[in-house]
Structure 1
Amino acid sequence: MNIVSPKGFKAVGIHCGLKHKKYDLALLVSDVPANAAGVFTTNAIQAAPLVITKELIQSTGKMQAIIINSGNANACTGTAGMQDALTMQLKTAEKIGISPDLVGVASTGVIGEKLNMEPIVAGIASFEPTNTLESSIQFSQAILTTDTVTKNTSYRVEIDGKEVVVAGTAKGSGMIEPNMATMLGFITTDANIEATHLQEALKTVTDVTFNAITVDGDTSTNDMVIVMANGMAQNEQLTPSHPEWEIFLNALHAVSQDLAKMIAKDGEGATKLIEVEVNGAISDSEARKIAKTVVGSPLVKTAVFGCDANWGRVIAAVGYSGATVNPSDIHIQIGPTTVVHGGEPANFSEEELLVYLKQPEVKIIVDLNIGDGIGLAWGCDLTYDYVQINATYRS
C-alpha cells in the first residue's frame, strides 16, 4: 500500500527542471474535498508556501490538493516569493478544476533563492495524476532533497465494518528538529472524520513521533505535516467518543512513527539509527525530553558512529536535559548490556558491546527509577559525510 491506497486519492511526480535530472514537482489530489489538519514549524522565519497552507487549514479545515516542489524552499524571498506560491496554488486549481482555497502549497530546498516559475507552471500543466503504484513512487521521489531513500508507509484497519486506510509519505534528512512537524510529511486517509478532531489526533501523535526525532538540532523554515481525510470509506464520523476511535488513532500513530523513524535513519550521512528509551521519569513529557536530549547530543552521536561505549556522554546528556533526575537511581543500558547501575559504572565486556555497536540500529535505555513516565526518541549518528554534504549543499 502507498499514499494513494486510501479511496479517492491520486498522485504524480515529474521532473520539471528545477533540478538537473531528478524529479522535482509533485501533486497529491483527492477526488472530493477532504477535511484537513496540519502541524507546522515553530521557526519564526516561515516560507511563503507554508504560510499559505497554514492559513488555508486554519481558516477552512478543507483541502483537496497540495502542490509540492523540491530544489528550492521559496523561503526568505519576500513579496515575490509569496506571489510565486500563490501562482502555484492558482495554476494547480485551474489544472484540476477546483477553487484555489482548496489547494495547499509546499516547497523544500535551498533557502533565499527565487523560484524559476516557468518550468513549474509548465510542469503543473502537464500533470496527469493517477492512483497507481508508479505514480505514488514518483510522488515520493519528487519531494526529496538530500534524502537517500523515499519514505512510505500505510496501514489498513476496520472501523464500523468498513475498511479504512491510513497512508503516508515524507521527506527529511537534515534540519530535523521538528517542534510540531518534520521536514515534509503527507498523510492520506479515507476515514470519515471532522477537521477539528483530525487536528486533535494529529497533534496527539505528532508529540510522540515527529516531535521525537532529531538529526542535527536545526529547525527548517518549511516544515509541515499535512493529513487529508476524504471520508470515502463511509464509516460513521469519527470522534473521541466513537467506540473505535482508538483504532484510527493507533493507525495514524503507526504511520507517523514509521515516517519519523525513516527520517531519523536517513539523516544526512548517517550509518545508524539510534533509539533512546527513557523509563521511570516523573512524567511522560520529562521522559521524552531526556530521550530527545540524549539522542540529539553530538557527543553521543559521534560515540555511536565510532562504536565507542562511552556511556559518560549518555549520563551527561541526561543530567543537562533539564529534567528531574536522581543520579544515584540512574540505570543505563546500551543494547542488552548494562553499563550504569545506581549511577555507578557496571562491569561489562567492552568487546561484546563493540559487536553490538557495529549494528545498523543502536538502542539506549535509561531508567530513572523516580516515577512512571516513559518516552522514546530517535536520531542518527554524526559522521564525516554529514559535514561533507552540508559543506557543499549549494555547490
Structure 2
Amino acid sequence: MKTIEKTTCTVLSAGGVTTAQGFKATGLHSGIKKKRKDLGLLVSAVPAVAAGVFTTNLVRAACVTQNEAQLLAQPYLQAIVVNSGNANACTGVQGDQDAKTMRAETAKALGLADDAVAIASTGVIGVPLPMAPLLAGIGQAATTLAQAGGDFFAEAMLTTDTGKKEVAVQLLLDGVTVTIGGAAKGSGMIHPNMATMLAFVTTDAAVEPAALKRLLSRTTDQTYNRITVDGDTSTNDMVLVLANGMAGNDTLDETHPQWTEFADAFRYVSEKLAKDIARDGEGATKLLEVVVNSAPTEGIASVIAKSVIGSSLVKTAVFGADANWGRILAAAGYSGAQFDPNLLDIYIGSVQVAQNGMGLVFDEETAREYLLGDHVVLTVNLNQGEETASAYGCDLTYDYVRINASYRT
C-alpha cells in the first residue's frame, strides 16, 4: 500500500462532512446522554450515490442489518441520522422497531422517503433506546441544519473519544474542484475487521454506484480494517459514503482518466480517519504504526502487520518504552502468514534491532528515547518480495483498564 502524497490532493486545514457542496449537518443534546451532544444529522441537498461496509460481527445492531439491506435494494441516500450513548444492539424485536421508527421519523422531518435515510447508533449494548427524547431531538435537528454544522455532527457521535475526528481534501477533476470530507468516531472496541467505529464520508463528485462500492470495499481493507486498539470487534460498526455529484465532474469509474487521483484522495481521507481512531484509543498515549515491507504479497504483509499491531505484549512494551523486539517477531510468527523468519529484519524507528531473525547489539537508550515519543513506527522487513502493508494502533495502558472497568457507570 503506497503512501498518499500531499501533491495528489490538497489537504484542507479544516473541514469535514459538510465541506463538499450540498451537505448540511447538525448535532445536539437530545437527552440520551446526561450532558454531551448525542444526536447528529447529515443531509445532502440532492439524492446521493451511496455505499457502505459493515461489521463482520455475527451479533449486529438493528441499524447495521437495516442499512445493509437498504443499500442492497438501491444504492442511494440523502440523509444519515446517528445517536451516541446507546447502541440499540441486542434489544430484540423492540430494537428493530425502534430503529425503523428512528429512520421513519427522520424521513418525515426532512420530507424524504424512508429509504433515503440511513441510521447509526453507538454506545452501551443491550439497553433499549429512549425513544421520546430521541424523536424530539430528531425534530429539532431537522430545523437546525447548516453548512457550518459539520463539527456539531462529528461531536454528536462521540462516546469515550477524547475529541472529534474530521478531515477534508480537494482536487481538480475534469477542470472542476471536487471535495471529499469525512468524520469518524472510535476509541475502544477497535479491531480488524472494523471496530466500535463509525465513519461517514461525503463528496460532491459524481461517481458510478458500482465503482463507489468497489472503491469503498478496497479502501476499507487498506485503512479501517488495519486498525486495532484492544482486539474487540463491535456490533455497530459501519462506514457510509455519500456522493451527490454537485461538483459537476464527468461521472467517475475505473475507466475515467483521473480515477486513480480520486481513489488516492478518497483513501487519504479514510487513512487519516483510521489513524485518528487508532491514536485516540482508550487510555492511549501514542499512535503505533506497523509497516511490513519486502513481502511476497500485500496479503501476507497485511496479515503480519495486523498480527503485530494486535499483540498485547507489543502494545504494552511500547507503552513501557521497552525495545522488546522478540515480541514483534513472535507476533509475526503466529500470524498464520507463510514467510522465512531467518530472513526477517526489525526496526524500531530507525534503530535496527534484529537481522536475519536474530537480535543485534543496538543502542538501548536511543531506542527507548524513540519509544517515548507519541508516534512509534515498527518496521518488519521480510526480504522476500516487493509488497508492503501498514497497520495502525496504540499502546495499551493502565488507563485502558480503568476506562473499561467502569464503562456503564
TM range (shorter): over 0.9
Supply the distance in 1 between the matched residues of 2:361 and 2:194 (Cα, whole angstroms).
41
Q: 1:291 aligns with which of 305, 308, 311?
A: 305
Q: Are positions 1:384 and 2:398 aligned together?
A: yes
Deviations 1:88-118 (A, max 9, x none): 1011011110101100010000000001000
Residue in 1 that maps onto 2:286: 272
Query: Aligned residue for 1:91?
Result: 105
Alignment partner, residue 107 of structure 1? 121
In the other structure, the counterpart of 2:168 is 154
* In structure 2, C-alpha distance between the alignment counterparts of 1:85 and 1:12, rounded to whole Å: 20
Alpha-carbon distance in 1 for matches of 2:43, 2:159: 22
User: Is residue 84–residue 122 contact of structure 2 (8 Å, CA) maintained in 1?
Assistant: yes
Instruction: Tell me if the contact between 1:186 and 1:227 (Cα under 8 Å) persists in the aligned partners.
Output: yes
Matched residue of 2:327: which SS?
helix
| 1:350 pairs with one of 364, 369, 380 | 364
Root-mean-square deviation (CA, aligned residues, Å) is: 1.0
Aligned to 2:89: 75
C-alpha distance in structure 2 between counterparts of 1:301 and 1:129, whole Å? 43
After TM superposition, list the pairs within 5 Å mapping 1:1-395 onto structure 2. 1-127=15-141, 128-133=143-148, 135-179=149-193, 183-395=197-409
Q: Note the residue ranges of structure 2 that are not aligned, 5 or more in a row.
A: 1-14
Aligned-partner Cα distance in 1 for 2:391–2:192: 12
Worse-matched range after superposition: 171-180 or 379-388: 171-180
Gaps of 5+ in 1: none
CA distance in 2, matches of 1:131, 1:262: 25
CA distance in 2 between partners of 1:158 and 1:394 (Å): 47
| Cα distance per residue 1:2-46 (max 9 Å; x no partner) | 210111000000000000100000001101110000000000111
Shift of 1:178: 3.4
Aligned identity (percent) is 53
Deviation at 1:297? Answer: 0.2
Q: What is the TM-score when the length of structure 1 is the normalising length?
A: 0.98
Q: Tell me which amino acid in the other structure corresponds to 1:20.
A: K
Once the two structures are superposed, residues 185-223 of structure 1 have per-residue CA deviations (whole angstroms, 9 ceiling, x without a partner) of: 000000101211100011111111011111111110000
Compute the displacement of 1:281 (Å): 1.4
Contact 2:78 2:117 in 1 (8 A): yes
Q: Per the alignment, in what secondary structure is the counterpart of residue 16 of structure 2? A: coil
- Quick check: 2:195–2:234 contact (8 Å CA) kept in 1? no
C-alpha distance in 1 between matches for 2:303 and 2:334: 11
Tell me by how many angstroms 1:129 deviates: 4.2
Consecutive aligned runs of 4 or more in structure 1 exceeding 6 Å deviation: none
